[in-house]
Structures are given as C-alpha cells and as structure tokens.
C-alpha cells in the first residue's frame, strides 16, 4: 500500500495555556481509520492539526507521508474534508457551492463545475443540486458536505461525525456511501465518530484518544480474523484440575472470587467441550454468558486501562455513553 495513512510523532498541541494533545505516537497503515474518544479527548483538535489549522507545540505528524509542518498546502490538496459543523454559503445553490469548493481545491472553473454535478449525483442529490443549500434538510446538508469533500478527487477523506443528527435511514445511506467509497476507490479514510457502530461498519483500524493521549491503537481486521469467543462462568466445585483441563484446550482462563471464571476460547473450541469437562470433574455450571469480542470491549478496555487521572470518573461515564451509542 506504500506510505502509512497516518503517522504521529510525539505530536503535542496547546491551545492557549491548555494542553489538548500530549505526545501522541503511533503509525496506522489501514485503508480506513476510525478516530474514537469521549467528548474532550482531542479528536477535533487532532483533525484540525492534521489539516494545518492548528500548529503543533512539539513533534509532528505525517498524512500520506507528508509532514504537517512542512507540507500543509500539499496535504490540503490530497485531502477531502467533511466538517462536523455546517460551513455553507446559504444563498448559493448546492452545485455552485460544491463547484466553488472544487475551485478552492485547485480545479479549473470548467472542470470544477463538471465534477460538482458528478459529485451531487454520486451522493444521490442530483435532483436538488440547483436548490439553495440553506433550504436543504439536515440529511441533504450532510450529503452535500460529503459531495464537496469528494469533488476534487482526493487521495484521503477526513470525515468528522458524518452521521451526526441523522435518522436511521439517512444514517444507513451515509454509511453505505462511505463503504462504497472504500470498496470502489483507492482513497484512504479517517472517520471520527462518537458512535462505535459507525466505526465498526466502515473502518479496519482504530485510534482511541483519552484526555489528549493515545489510549489504544487497534487493528480491527486482525481482531476479526482472530474471531475470539468469550465466556463468563459461575461455577460450584471448580478446582485447579478443572482450570488446567480448560487451559489444555487452548483457552485463556482467569479465576475470580466466588467460583466465577472468565475464558477466552479459540474458534476451534466449542462450548459443549466446557460442559463435558465440567461433567467429568463434577463441576456445576450455574451461569454461562457467551459473546464475541467487539469494538465496545476494546474501547472500554482502553478507557479503563490507561491510568486513573483526576477526571477519570467523567471519562468513564463518557466511555459508557459512547459505547451505548453503538447499541
């Protein structure tokens, strides 16, 4: 695939006297990167820094191999940006607004207008392209923002909360468009969302921020290939011999108080084998919960494993809020 999609090199950003991003490090090579974190974790600041709107205090980052401090103009030509907040000129028709954005991105006037029409048809707004953007519904405005991000044929799309405020059908339409871009083009994607489900459905790598620091980087494709199974057991009569037999199957096993056990099972092991060993060892299984690993598990683990800080309780509450948004 060539150069990494995003590289963070001790990236530190201050706004006024406040540190927003604190020595971010990491390399992400996936086609589609999800950017996750509670409110106030630094997601929008990172995006604005990558685009050159904020300067780094220390360190740097690379977007498609381009340094954000030295190659700002080149990055803006390579990237299409769909902002979270509306930034329309409301008196313009949709197609003329997108044409204007294409010209700002460097396309000649004639080519910009032609590409603007194509972009509107691509996102499904061809019939309303001459209406004023100020008259668009919320869903239409989100699609128009996607059209202006795509119009100049960028090598990378940065999408900030692309499904924000959308009802379920409109959200699904947006997700399908993002999936189509990923499937049918060579564009890289950086998608910031507070909905885990959006990231899980579109991305293959995840960068998780917490209080301005990297809380985790996860290769979702590797997690999906691992296809691990998780069991929570409540048992009576379990001893070390039972645990050893379970471990011999290739399971990771954690024994808790009160006869509780947590197992991570390889895909080749069936749950009935756990029951078979329990019967042989005269162990009662009072309760069994089964699930697959999910992005919610990965996210919550990142939130709770990165040190107790002064505002850790609000961060944990925000983590639960973000996680529940995926249900």
pLDDT digits (tens, 9 = 90+) for 146-179: 999 999 999 999 999 999 999 999 999 999 999 9
pTM, two decimal places: 0.76
Q: Write down how long the chain is.
A: 327
Residues 189 and 203 placed together within one structural domain of the fold: yes
- Domain limits for position 135: 6-223
Last residue of one domain, picked from the residues 223, 253, 277: 223
Beta bridge partners of 61: 8
Q: How much is the pLDDT for 294?
A: 67
Q: Which residue has the higher pLDDT, 43 or 313?
A: 43
**Residue in this structure with the two tokens 């059209």, named with its chain if needed:** 147
Structural domains in the chain (count): 2
Tell me whether residue 74 is in a domain. yes
pLDDT in tens, 219-256: 887 776 666 678 888 999 998 899 999 999 988 888 88
pLDDT interval class at 268 (50, 70, 90): confident
Residue 310 has pLDDT above 70, yes or no: no
Residue 170, in any domain of the structure: yes
The verdict on 219 and 244 lying in the same domain is no
- Asked if residue 272 and residue 189 are part of one domain, the reply reads no
HSE of 223, CA atoms in CB hemisphere, 13 A: 17
Give yes or no: residues 188 and 49 share one domain.
yes
Per-position DSSP letters for 213-267, written without gaps between them: EEEEEEEHHHHHHH--EEEEEEEES--HHHHHHHHHTT-EEEE-GGGEEEEEE-T
Dist CA 30 CA 1 (whole Å): 9
- Where among 191, 223, 255 does a domain terminate? 223
Is residue 72 situated within a structural domain?
yes
48 part of a folded domain? yes
32-58 mean pLDDT: 94
pLDDT at 97: 95
CATH number of the domain to which 238 belongs:
3.30.70.270
Residue from 106, 181, 108 nearest 150 by CA: 181
20 three-state secondary structure: strand
How much is the CA Rg of the chain, to the nearest whole Å? 24
* Range 288-313 average pLDDT: 63
Question: What is the full DSSP assignment across 145-168?
Answer: HHHHHHTT--SEEEEESTTTT--H
pLDDT at 251 (0 to 100) = 87
Report the percent of the chain where pLDDT is more than 90: 65
Question: Helices in the chain by DSSP H: which ranges?
Answer: 43-50, 72-78, 94-104, 109-122, 138-150, 168-184, 196-202, 220-226, 240-248, 271-280, 295-305, 312-324
Alpha helices, DSSP H only, in 7-65?
43-50
**Which of the pair, 184 or 325, is modelled with greater confidence?**
184
Single out the residue in 192, 223, 254 at which a domain terminates: 223
DSSP single-letter state for residue 92: S
Tens digit of each residue's pLDDT (9 = 90 or more) over 205-215: 999 999 999 99
**Residues 138 and 111 occupy one common structural domain:** yes
* Residue of higher predicted confidence among 262 and 128: 128
Q: Which helix (H) or strand (E) holds 27?
A: strand 18-28
Rounded to whole angstroms, the Cα distance separating 117 from 219 reads: 37
> Residue 5 in 3-state DSSP?
coil
| Beta carbons of 43 and 195 less than 8 angstroms apart | no
Render pLDDT for 51-107 as a digit per residue (tens, 0 to 9).
Answer: 999 999 999 999 999 999 999 989 988 999 999 998 888 789 999 999 999 999 889
């Amino acid at each position: 695939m060539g150069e990494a999609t995003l590289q963070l090199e001790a990236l530190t950003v201050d706004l006024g006297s406040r540190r927003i991003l604190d020595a971010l490090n990491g390399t992400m090579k996936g086609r589609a990167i999800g950017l996750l974190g509670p409110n106030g974790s630094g997601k929008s600041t990172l995006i604005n820094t990558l685009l050159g709107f904020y300067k780094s205090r220390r360190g740097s980052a690379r977007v498609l191999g381009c340094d954000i401090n030295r190659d700002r103009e080149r990055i803006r030509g390579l990237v299409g940006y769909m902002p979270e907040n509306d930034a329309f000129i409301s008196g313009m028709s949709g197609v003329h607004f997108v044409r204007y954005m294409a010209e700002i991105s460097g396309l000649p006037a004639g080519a910009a207008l032609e590409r603007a029409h194509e972009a509107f048809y691509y996102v499904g707004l061809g019939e309303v392209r001459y209406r004023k953007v100020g008259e668009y519904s919320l869903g239409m405005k989100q699609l128009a923002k996607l059209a202006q991000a795509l119009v100049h044929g960028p090598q990378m799309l940065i999408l900030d909360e692309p499904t924000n405020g959308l009802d379920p059908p409109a959200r699904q339409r947006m997700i399908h468009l993002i999936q189509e871009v990923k499937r049918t083009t060579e564009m890289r994607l950086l998608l910031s969302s507070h909905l885990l489900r959006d990231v899980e459905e579109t991305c293959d790598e995840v960068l998780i921020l917490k209080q301005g620091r990297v809380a985790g980087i996860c290769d979702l494709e590797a997690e999906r290939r691992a296809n691990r199974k998780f069991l929570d057991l409540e048992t009576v009569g379990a001893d070390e011999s039972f645990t050893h037999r379970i471990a011999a199957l290739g399971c990771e096993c954690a024994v808790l108080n009160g006869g509780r056990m947590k197992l991570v099972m390889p895909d080749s092991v069936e749950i009935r084998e756990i029951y078979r060993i329990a019967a042989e060892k005269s162990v009662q299984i009072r309760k069994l919960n089964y699930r697959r690993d999910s992005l919610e598990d990965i996210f919550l683990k990142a939130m709770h494993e990165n040190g107790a800080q002064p505002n850790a309780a609000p961060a944990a509450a925000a983590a639960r809020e973000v996680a529940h948004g995926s249900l």
